[in-house]
Structure 1
Amino acid sequence: MTTTYAVLLRGINVGGRKKLPMARLRTLMEGLGHTGVSTYLQSGQAAFTVDHGDEESLAAELAGAVEREFGFTVDVLVRDHAYLAAVVADCPFPAAELEARQLHVTYFSQPVDADRFAEIDRPAFLPEEFRLGDRALYLYAPDGLGRSRLAECLSRPRLGKGLVATTRNWNTVVKLAELTRTG
């Protein structure tokens, strides 16, 4: 049985570091036996279909291939359509009423316990807000991610080692669900 997935690569093509042209990513993924490979933007998203593996093994396989081909390590998350569609459907904020730059989702490699964020003084950051979902964190930042004080507070040092996290704006979140829809 074939399954359609999205792949999210963390931190590529940002600030001139870890350059990974999307055409070469597509070729690399096709070389791994993936079919129907398409990329979205230049920031490390692709959709593909495959008849073997699971999210974790596919992510590890692609991370290894990128390291061999490009000479750098990159964190990779792979998610299927059902998960991506649920992330869109479960958004706790009124996405249809917001600009894409105001709403972001951070995808995590594993579930994140709310205790990790318990010490954050949420009222101090209003109107910015965040909510946890299934291996995801939804962030409402009315002035955008670049100006968000809350985003900085939620950043990687708080997440600790061993947890992969990568953030996408709402347009990309919706597009990934669309790209992985079959039929």
Structure 2
Amino acid sequence: MATYIAFLRAINLGAKRKFPKDAIKAAVEAAGCTNVETYINTGNVRFDSTMRSRARIEAALEKAFLEDRGFEVPTIVFTPKELRAIAEEAAGFGHGGRHYVSLLKDDPTAEAIKAVEDLSTAEEVARVGGRAVHLLLGANYHEARLTNAAVEKKLGVSTNRNLTVIEALADRWGA
């Protein structure tokens, strides 16, 4: 039995994509996972599974979420060790502004990494490390040009969390 952390994309946005924590927990358990725990209502869930393939786990969870909610919920899975590495990498940036992390479903190609990092400006910087894109932004996230949507255009499905959440999850669930 191994432990994993799943990040759900685009839930609790508007009236039609509601997915409360208790319902997430029940759906993850319905997918055959145990020791399920959620953290805040943005789609962060830790669980144990006998499955070993990340793609298989993501597919099983996405199927359970679709059956439970009636809408697709892209799901991105990491191991606790991978999450800890993302948080540790972030600490090395020493950025004084807003720091967000886009978590990628798939491994990016070298060309795609270059394309997203080339979007950087003096005020907004993207740094890719594995399946995580660190977005180092100015004071106002809502005015940023370098967003999760921009990351998805270059690197595919991703979901975004602020560094505070990533660090809290790494402290709580990281290896």
Cα pair 1:47 1:179 within 8 Å, conserved = no
Report the Cα distance in structure 1 between the residues aligned to 2:103 and 2:20, rounded to whole angstroms.
Answer: 22
Give the direction of change, closer, same or farther, for the CA distance of 1:132–1:152 in structure 2 (3 Å limit): closer
Cα pair 1:132 1:138 within 8 Å, conserved = yes
- How far did residue 48 of structure 1 move? 1.0
Indicate whether 1:174 and 2:170 are aligned: no
- 1:59 maps to a residue whose letter is E
Q: How does 1:11-160 map to 2 (within 5 A)?
A: 11-91=10-90, 92-94=92-94, 98=96, 102-116=98-112, 117-118=114-115, 120=118, 122=120, 125-151=121-147, 154-159=150-155
Report the Cα distance in structure 2 between the residues aligned to 1:23 and 1:145, rounded to whole angstroms.
Answer: 29
* Superposition RMSD in Å: 2.2
Partner of 1:165: 158
Q: Runs of 4+ in structure 1 displaced over 6 angstroms?
A: none
Report the Cα distance in structure 1 between the residues aligned to 2:85 and 2:63, rounded to whole angstroms.
Answer: 28
Report the Cα distance in structure 2 between the residues aligned to 1:49 and 1:152, rounded to whole angstroms.
Answer: 28
- 1:39 maps to a residue whose letter is T
Report the Cα distance in structure 1 between the residues aligned to 2:37 and 2:2, rounded to whole angstroms.
Answer: 14
- 1:25 maps to a residue whose letter is I
- 1:65 maps to a residue whose letter is A
**Please, what TM-score do these two structures have when normalized by structure 1?**
0.83
Unmatched 5+ stretches in structure 1: none
> How many residue pairs end up in the alignment?
172
**Please, what TM-score do these two structures have when normalized by structure 2?**
0.86
Cα pair 1:114 1:132 within 8 Å, conserved = no
Report the Cα distance in structure 2 between the residues aligned to 1:152 and 1:42, rounded to whole angstroms.
Answer: 19
Give the direction of change, closer, same or farther, for the CA distance of 1:118–1:158 in structure 2 (3 Å limit): closer
Cα pair 2:102 2:159 within 8 Å, conserved = yes
User: Identical aligned pairs, as a percentage?
Assistant: 26
CA offsets, 1:75-119, max 9 Å, x none?
A: 111111111011111224126xx46xx101111122223433448
- How far did residue 153 of structure 1 move? 7.5
- How far did residue 152 of structure 1 move? 7.0
- 1:90 maps to a residue whose letter is E
